[in-house]
Amino acid sequence: MKLDIDATRKQRPYRRREYFGRLMWAIISLLFRFSPRVGFRWRAFLLRCFGAKIGRGAHIYPGARIELPWLLEVGELSSVADGVRVYNLGKVRIGARSTLSYGAHICAGTHDYEDAGFPLLRLPIDIGDDVWICADAFLAPGVTVGDGAVVAARAVVVADVPPWVVVAGHPAQMLKPRVIRPS
């Protein structure tokens, strides 16, 4: 089977407005990255200027990498640590009181490898309330992580995670239910 490479290269995955937005964000994100560690309100302000929905009290650290702010929603009191990569070519929603630990990779973009044109797929990721995505975990495009779930360190999530469970491994599998002990 012969591929028409020239036709493939002519396809543009983004609208012109998005190309412009990406350019502007690349420039402004320097103010984001080089802000003081405690500058949570400043970073939330910058993200909101680019269309992100950031809840009250959310802590987004300066070392977090966010690709397209206008496709990001972060709930109240959530935390996105340094080293987190939010590759949100599709919409990414992070619920309230959720934590994304160092090095987590939230990947809402892939390609349709079965199509000769290899088109970009921009699939959403939905992370519920009270979720913990541990260090270096990977969330694949199109997954939903249910409320209260824990995705263990270095887990690779390629399918939906039910609420209130702990998953681990490659690919991630359920280990046990998550039970909260009273303080």
CATH number at residue 146: 2.160.10.10
SS (H, E, C) the chain: CCCCHHHHHHCCCCCHHHHHHHHHHHHHHHHHHCCCCCCHHHHHHHHHHCCCEECCCCEECCCCEECCHHHEEECCCCEECCCCEEECCCCEEECCCCEECCCCEEECCEECCCCCCCCEECCCEEECCCCEECCCCEECCCCEECCCCEECCCCEECCCECCCEEEECCCCEEEEECCCCCC
Asked if the model's pLDDT at residue 8 lies above 90, the reply is no
Q: Which domain does 41 fall in, by range?
A: 17-177
d(CA 183, CA 155): 28
- Structurally, the chain folds into a number of domains equal to 1
pLDDT computed for residue 11 by the predictor: 63
Is residue 172 one of the residues assigned to a domain?
yes
pLDDT band at 116 (very low <50, low <70, confident <90, very high): confident
Is residue 134 within 8 A of residue 152, CB to CB? The reply is yes
Lowest-confidence range among 19-23, 28-32, 113-117, 121-125?
113-117
This model's pTM is above 0.95: no
Please check whether residue 9 lies inside any domain of the structure: no
Q: What is the pLDDT of residue 10?
A: 52
First to last CA, the chain: 63
2 within domain boundaries: no
Question: For 133-174, how does the pLDDT look when each residue is reduced to its tens digit (9 = 90+)?
Answer: 999 999 999 999 999 999 999 999 999 999 999 999 999 999
Is residue 12 a part of any domain in this protein? no
Q: Is there a domain that residue 11 lies in? A: no
Give pLDDT tens digits for 57-84: 999 999 999 999 999 999 999 999 999 9
